[in-house]
Every structure is written in C-alpha cells, then in structure tokens.
Amino acid sequence: MSIKRAEKITMWTVLVAIISFIIMRCFHRELYLMIPERTYLFVHSGIEFIDFAVSFTMLVLGWLFFAKSLSKHRLYTAALFSAIGLFDLLHALTAKGMPFYMAAGETTLSSLFAVTGRLFGAVGLFVIFRKADMSIPASRRLPAFIIALGIAATLAVCYFTIADQPSVPVLTGNSIALLRILVHFVIIFSYISTITMVLYLHRTERPQALLTIIQALVFFTIANLQFVLGSDFHDSDLVLAHLYKLAGYYSLMKGIYYVTIYEPFKQQKRTESRINYLAYHDELTGLSNRRLLKEKLDEELALARMNESQLAVFLFDIDRFKNVNDALGHSFGDQMLQAVSERLRYAVGKTNHLFRMGGDEFVMLMPDVKETGDERVEKQAKAIMGLFDAPFLLGDAEYHITISLGISFFPKDGDSVEVLLKNADTAMYSAKAHRNEFSAYVPEMNQKAHDRLRLESDLRKAIEQEQFTLAYQPLVNLSTGKVVGVEALVRWNHPKRGLLPPGDFIHLTEENGLILQLGEWVLRAACKQNVTWQEAGLPAMMMSVNLSMRQFRQHQLAERIKDILVQTGMPPQYLELEITESMTSDVEFAAETLTSLKELGVQISIDDFGTGYSSLVSLKRFPIDKLKIDRSFVGDLSQGGSDAAIVSTITTMAKNLKLKVTAEGVENDEQIQFLRDRNCEEAQGFYFTKPIPANLFENWFRHRSQSA
C-alpha cells in the first residue's frame, strides 16, 4: 500500500468517526435508549474482554517481534497497553452484575479501574510520542514490561484495599465530582496534544504504521468525549463509547502489526527479490548478467538441438573504452555504459536475449537461424553497429563511440556455452584489429588469438629486458629549413619477430597497463639521447615525446617527469610533451594537469589536432604551445578541397591564439609550399626522412647541416 493511499484511508476513517459522533450528539434524543441490565452486562463484558485480548496481543507482538528493530515508541507502547489490558480485565470482572462487584465511596471499583486505564493510556501515549522515535537495546524489553505491569498491579491492590474501607473522603461529595472533571480533562487534553505532536514531528513523511496510530488517537479522543457526555447508566451512550474505544484499540494494534510483522515481512520480500534480481541482472545497466546468459544460452541450445536449428551469438564491446575511463573517470564511464545499454535495449527488442557480460562487453542471442549464411544475421550485426553512428549526449557534450562485434554459430562453431562465447570473443578481437567492424568466427582466428596472448606475454619480458629502441623523426622549420627538433617514436626489437612498429603492440600495453612503464622508459631514453647529442656537439633542439592517455591520468605525473629531467640532466625547455585532443575531454582535469606540467618549464603540444572534439573555449584554457595537424588532412592538400580548407583554418586559428603549428605526414613539394603559404611554422614526414635510429639521425643531421 502506498503512503498516499494510506493517508487517504486515514483521512476518511477520521472523518467518518468525527461525523458519526456529531450525528449521534445532534440526534441524541432520537437515538438514545436504555439497555436491559443483563444485555448490557453481556455486551459490555464482551467488549472489555476483546479490549484485553487486543492489549495482550500488543504485549505479545512487542515481546516476540521487536528484538531486531526495537525502538522506544514500539516497546513502551506495548508495555503501556499490557498495563491497560490488566485494568480493562479488572474493570470487566468488577462491573455491576459480576461476582467481584464492589463499591468504593460514591463510585465503584469497576469505574476506578476504567478511568485509571483511560488515564494511563492518554498520559502514557503523550509521554511516549512527545519525542521522535529512536532505537534502544533489547535489554530494556523485560524491565519495561515488568515496570508497567508492576505499577498496574500495585494500583489494583490499592483499589481493592480502598474498596474495603467504609468511607473514602476523596471518593465522596464534591471531591469525586472535581476529580472526575480533572481526570477527563487530562485524558482529552493528552490525546489532542499527542495527535498534534505526532503530526508535527512527522510533517514531512507519514508511514502507514504512524497513520494507524493517528486513527487510534482520534477514536480514543471521541470515546472519552462520549464517556464525559454520557451517564453512568447501562444505556446506548456507554456502549457507543466502548465501541469507539475498541476501534481505537484495533487501530493501535494494527499500527503495531504493520511495524512488527507486515513491514518487516514486506522488507524481507523486497530484499529477497532484490537479491534474486541482482543474482541474475547487472546492477548498473539493469540488463541480464553473465549467470543468466549461461542459463538462457543453455535453454536456447537445447531448443536448437530439438528443432535442428542454428543459433547465433553476438559478442561486442566498446572500442577504446579504457581510454574513456582514463580520460573522463569511471563515473562518466558508468554513464556511458548506461546510455549504451538503453540504446541496445530499445533496438534489440527481446531484452531476455541481451546481456552484459561485465565491463564494456555485451552479448546478444539470435535463435532460429536457418543457416550460417543467413542474411538476417548480417542484417542484425549491421543494425547493432548502426546504433553507434549517432553520438551519445551526456551532460552538455556529444561523444562518438564505436564497437567491435564477433559472431559464433551453433553448432558449427561449438556446441556448448563456453565454446560459443570463447569463439565469439575471438571473432570480436579479430574485428577489433580494424575497429568499428564485425566478424564471424573462423578457426584460423584461434591462431591469431594465441599469437596475441603470446605477444602480450612477451611484452612483459620486453619491459623487464628493455627490448625497446627509439627512432627519431625530425621537425623542420619551413622558413629557415633548419631542424628544430625531433619526435621520439618507440620500436620493439622482438627477439624472434624482429623490429615491430608501435601499431603492433601499443594497444596491448594500453589494455594491460604496461603503457605506464613503457611510457616512462621512452621519456627517460629520449631525454638521455637529447643530452648525449648536445654533448656530442649537436645544437640544442626540441625533443618531442608522446604521452598516452593512462600516463596523462597518472598520479603525480608532473613530479615523475621532473625526476626524469633531473636524473638525465635534460633542460626542461627542450622537452615537448604531446597529448591528443581526447585527453582534454575532462576540461577541469586537463587544465590542472597541463598547468602543473607547464610549471616544469616544458613545452606542450596537441597531437593529431582536428580529429577530436576540442572547443575553442576549452582550448583557450589550456597552457599549450603548439598544434600538430594530423596527417589525414595533409595528404590531399595539393588537390584543394575540404582538407585544404581545414588546414588553412587551423593555421589561422593558431596564429590568432599565438600558437605554433606543425604539419605531420608531409611527403612532397606541393604540400611544403601550401604550408609555407599558410604560415605553418614546422613540418615532419617522409619528405625529410622516415623515423631513424639515433646514430643514423646524427649522421643525417650533420650531412644536412653541411649541405645547407
């Protein structure tokens, strides 16, 4: 039951109680009737015994079900009504017509027990609910009930003692009349005050148990008003008063029931349901998880065997997702995964066929495939790839991502869950070699996957044994023709495969984290080489070194680079650190990191400029010195068109921002002339020389200097 519905029920219950009381008072003469004494005794005794039973039930609930969630309100209310129940029982047993009937002054022992019970209830509830609820230790449970029942029993003994006295002054004449008025005033005032306090203390939130307590307090208030306005005869007024009181007891017991049994039961069911849900679903995206995938795939395989049909397994992940996490943080990465899962959920249709394996990997099942070359499989693969053509809008920015997808078929590529998933994963890594592609599994891919694992294992040895070397590509000033710097490019001198270019292994180092160790080695080796050249008589020149995404996010990056500069003796003004545009997506972090690097005295350049999504606003915030135009824009400069326009725009923008510009991938005279005409300061590329080892670069530099 929702809180809103519970509030409506409470409002209607209270309204009905108040209206019924008003109607009975307005038409009192018409509705009033005397009840035969024996009939009244039967009805009255039944109501009082029910009151006692309800009070005893509250005692039992408080004793048995509060141990784990004991609080002041719950414990003390149960203890209070254990005492009130005792008074109700004694009231019934000492009523006129019962064997224990006794007079006490000008009243009766039964009336004393009844008024005392009502007074106890009103004042007790006022004391209990005057403050907010709070937890208390279970050790207080027994003392609370002992004290409550002890006080009630002591008063009962006192009343029986008074009843034996021939005359009690306080229970005769004006004294008894004033005492009745005072007691009834205290009772009604206490109930009204309790209602007001409870509503005020819970003005922002009113749980269902609390609303039933409000109902009980209203019934108790009306019951005592009816007792005040009624007579002491066995008539309809007293029966109605007892019925209102019984309704109050019921509402109070219902509230305690909600707290002790109903709500804990609902919470337990919700917890069990949540645990069961999380056992088979991914908490972040809400998609089915790996466990449910295995069960579902087992079911689909059984159906496929029975129907002699085929089944396709699609496994895909987000390209370069580690870079997203490294550049923008895991919180942003989680948002990206949620956005991806939402797009997939609406596109796939059957959500019970879509799963998140973990990380950025997703699986989709396609049952009832007619044959391996079924056009529906290729169509589905293209549809999944097409989902990522549109950018993802996260925050105020758009982000483009791609996926790589692998497909395996039952029974051709495997007849078990493990084999099908493994082969789909192998096909995905084959597609990942080109990015933004999909590929169906073929057995030859296993050899490639094995080679990849072997290469990854060899990489760890290569780091330890320093099997890497650097090649250097010069940066030439287009105005003077002089070499003003070099870019250090890493190569792997593999003991069996020979010299490997970075494209063969850098992506692996990024995935397994070895890029941090490799990047530090490259930086140290490049700085050492630059110092060695200067000591050999070469003029001071800029040494340009690329930073990877993970390096850029590395803790205390500036301190690490400073230590390398000190250890190698490299002047910081001759070190240029290259970053890519994607590293600056988190503008605040990028600005802070670049500022700390700039304080070392090094130069900062943005590599592959024009291929990312840097805005001019963020670009102005970064302490950079140079933009490097990506080679993809330089290749077709001689033919004009959009590439020429882009390069012209970049050089003009850089000039206005007082930044240098370097063009990459220069290969012919036409490109050189175009760049000179656009005031591009520097260029590098095969036009001058391909990347060459340090000793060959020194010879090349001296020969070029002599020729000039």
User: Whose CA is closest to 236, among 471, 32, 498?
Assistant: 32
In CATH, the number for domain 461-707 is: 3.20.20.450
Q: What is d(CA 476, CA 497) in angstroms, rounded to the nearest whole number?
A: 33
Specify the pLDDT at position 222. Answer: 87
The length of the chain is: 708
Is residue 290 within 8 A of residue 357, CB to CB? The reply is: yes
Specify the pLDDT at position 456. Answer: 81
Distance of alpha carbon 637 from its chain centroid, rounded?
49
pLDDT tens readout for residues 365-422: 988 887 656 688 888 888 888 888 888 888 777 888 889 999 999 999 988 999 999 9
Q: How large is the average pLDDT for residues 340-361?
A: 83
CATH class held by domain 3-273: mainly alpha
pLDDT tens readout for residues 439-470: 989 888 877 767 777 888 888 888 888 899 99
- CB count within 10 Å of CB 329 equals 14
Q: Domain 290-441: give its CATH architecture.
A: 2-Layer Sandwich (3.30)
pLDDT band for 610, please (50, 70, 90 cuts). Answer: low
pLDDT band for 1, please (50, 70, 90 cuts). Answer: very low
**Which of 113-127, 501-515, 635-649 comes out lowest in average pLDDT?**
635-649
Q: What is d(CA 14, CA 216) in angstroms, rounded to the nearest whole number?
A: 9
Q: Is 704 helix (H, G, I), strand (E, B) or coil?
A: helix
Using a 10 angstrom Cβ sphere, with 0-12 exposed, 13-18 middle and 19 or more buried, the burial of residue 47 is buried
pLDDT tens readout for residues 636-685: 776 667 788 888 888 888 888 888 999 999 999 888 998 898 889 999 99
| Phi–psi pair at 167, nearest 5 degrees | -155, 130
Q: What is d(CA 343, CA 258) in angstroms, rounded to the nearest whole number?
A: 42
Higher pLDDT: 52 or 122? It is 122
pLDDT band for 524, please (50, 70, 90 cuts). Answer: very high
Specify the pLDDT at position 409. Answer: 92
Model pTM greater than 0.85?
Answer: no
Domain ranges of the chain: 3-273, 290-441, 461-707
Distance of alpha carbon 552 from its chain centroid, rounded?
27
Token pair of 165 as six digits? 């006295």
Q: List Cβ neighbours of 75 (8 Å cut-off, separation of 6 or more).
A: 62, 66, 136, 140, 141, 144
**Which of 38-42, 383-387, 527-531, 623-627 comes out lowest in average pLDDT?**
38-42
pLDDT band for 326, please (50, 70, 90 cuts). Answer: confident
Residue 443: cis peptide before it, omega within 30 degrees of 0: no
pLDDT tens readout for residues 19-38: 988 888 888 777 777 888 78
Q: List Cβ neighbours of 496 (8 Å cut-off, separation of 6 or more).
A: none
Query: 3-273 with 290-441: one CATH topology?
Result: no
Give kind and range of the element (H or E) at residue 543: strand 542-546
